[in-house]
Amino acid sequence: MDMIDHLVIIRGGGDLATGVAYRLHRTGFSLIVLELARPLVVRRRVALATAVLEGQVQIEELKGRLVPTVEEAKRLARSQEIPVLVAPTWPELQPAILIDARMAKRNIDTTIDQAALVIAMGPGFTAGIDCHAVIETRRGHRLGRVIWDGSAEPDTGSPGIVAGRGAERVLRAPIEGEVQWTFGIGDAVTAGMVIGSVGGKPVSVTFDGVLRGLIAPGSWVKAGLKIGDVDPRGDMAACFTISDKALSIGGGVLEAIMTWRKKMK
């Protein structure tokens, strides 16, 4: 079959959504990514959402470009670049496949009738009611599995364990205010180091590692919002490549699409 005939809309351009886009783009699908006007993405160097902030972004072999209109997005969808369109609400598009990759932990406005195949990522959706298939996003034995009946595992509110570190990997805004950084993604840090501020209040790290992700400087955030990610493994290259988790979820999405396509024959 010719994958380019199947237009895929991905709602959300974060790091996990980008893993999905990578898998689908490499296998020949036409893609359009929808994002907010001011994405609060943390892993900016591996997120297509960064195209909204910078006009374009290169992630491994993947290139995303901000486009101004639906018409331009449709045109670019058949190219070697992935169009990223600012569309906080559902635009005038009729995709064959819709993927809700916003990772909101709840269903914002996705319905099962928005496309011939509707796939949702993570908790907050029930396959057969909100969508046709749900992809498990929680780290562990079930990561990336396709669920055709039921829901993904509920949100625990705690990040998965990486090299023995869990919740402390995540940097959160201490107060509401504007974010400023004195360090950048990929920089090595040590315990206690102040790496920036929110509303003038310092933000520091609690263990040695590298800065895997930082929300865009100048962003206005609420207290408690995730604004950074510290990787205890100290692998600088991992800050600039798509993660194993994102690729596993992308594989699950690809499996769901191919299973659906097989049933259509």
Question: Domain 3-155+244-264, what architecture?
Answer: 3-Layer(aba) Sandwich (3.40)
| pTM: predicted TM-score of the whole model, two decimal places | 0.93
User: What integer pLDDT is reported at residue 2 of this predicted model?
Assistant: 53
- How confident is the model at residue 206, as a pLDDT? 93
CA distance 175 to 186: 25
Delimit the CATH 2.40.50.100 region(s) of the chain: 167-232
Q: How far is 64 from 48, CA to CA, in rounded Å? A: 6
Domain 167-232 sits in CATH 3.90.226.10:
no
Q: What pLDDT is stored for residue 156 in this prediction?
A: 73
Long-range contacts of 61-66 (CB under 8 A, 24+ apart): 61/26, 62/18, 62/21, 62/22, 62/25, 64/13, 64/21, 64/33
CATH 3.40.50 residue ranges in the chain? 3-155+244-264
For the chain, list the strands marked E by DSSP: 7-11, 30-35, 56-59, 62-67, 82-86, 97-100, 117-121, 133-135, 146-147, 170-172, 177-181, 188-189, 194-198, 201-204, 209-214, 220-221, 226-231
Per-residue pLDDT tens listing for the chain (265 residues): 455 568 999 999 999 999 999 999 999 999 999 999 999 999 999 999 999 999 999 999 999 999 999 999 999 998 899 999 999 888 888 899 999 999 999 999 999 999 999 999 999 999 999 999 999 999 899 999 999 999 999 987 767 676 567 688 899 999 999 999 999 999 999 999 999 999 999 999 999 999 999 999 999 999 999 999 999 998 999 999 999 999 999 999 999 999 999 888 7
Q: How far apart are CA 237 and CA 11, in angstroms?
A: 27
